[in-house]
Amino acid sequence: MHRAEELGRTLHAMSGSVDRGALARLEEKIAATKRQSDSTERDRQIGLLERQRQTLTDLLTRGQLVADQLESCVLAMQNVRFDLLRLRSAGVAAALDDLTRATQQARALSRDVDHAIAAAGEVKAALGEQRGA
């Protein structure tokens, strides 16, 4: 949950500082500057504009990456929510009650088996005494 909040804040901060139309305007400026006559000033401006374009492209790419991560976090939280709803609808409490009952029945059965073994031992001992007598 904390990660999703952090990603949301980051995405909000990034989207507020990036103008989506800026990339197209930079492309137009680069094209217009390239149409100018050759000069060192023109080459310097083209270099500067291309670096700005690369920086803006990187920023837009990072923004998309953050948006994708946020979407992934939201989907993970929704999956957890649906799993919890499914567990609730499946009756986890009822399943735990059934498990408790089954455990109690297994213990009772184990005691019955112990009693039967003890009784069989007593019968065997009694029969052994009668044969010996």
Question: Cβ distance 8 to 70 under 8 Å?
Answer: yes
Q: What's the alpha-carbon Rg for the chain, to the nearest Å?
A: 38
Residue 109's alpha-carbon distances to 3, 16, 78, 106, in angstroms, are: 50, 69, 43, 5
**Tens of pLDDT along 51-97?**
999 988 888 888 888 888 888 888 888 888 888 777 777 766 677 77
Give residue 17's pLDDT band: very low, low, confident or very high (50, 70, 90).
low
**The pTM of the whole model exceeds 0.75:** no
